Amino acid sequence: MNLCTSIRVRYEETDQMGVVYHGNYFTWFDIGRTEFFRKLNIVYGQLEEEGILLPVIEANCEYIMPAKYDDEIIICTKLVKLKGVRLEFGYTLYRKEDNTLIAKGRTIHAFVDKNLKPINFKKRYREIWDLLGETI
């Protein structure tokens, strides 16, 4: 299941050429992932309060077309894999105006505690695990 949200490119996100600086795409992935959880009524901040962290352990982005200042960008986020202590998200970013694919990416995360030790999320939060699994 793709869950989508939109953002508008701010001037500060662009470089001297008027193109979005490449590192900002990872911020947009974070926005997409946060909204993905929110749309499932999973509050990421609440998980953190309970000692569950989801650090990024791998990330990549394929830049296809440049995004520019004031473009409205649609961020579509999909949970691709949920296994063991890991989960993987896939992202597709489109320019809303013409539905042009501008980038694709993925991030892999691990369920860890505040000491960065892997935890068995499935056992501890079965209901949330099952809800996440239903989106694949």
Q: Which residues are catalytic?
A: 15
Dist CA 66 CA 46 (whole Å): 35
Instruction: Please classify residue 1 by burial: count the beta carbons closer than 10 Å to its beta carbon, then call 0-12 exposed, 13-18 middle and 19+ buried.
Output: exposed
User: Which helix (H) or strand (E) element contains residue 33?
Assistant: helix 24-39
Dist CA 131 CA 112 (whole Å): 19
Phi, psi angles (nearest 5°) of residue 121 = -65, -40
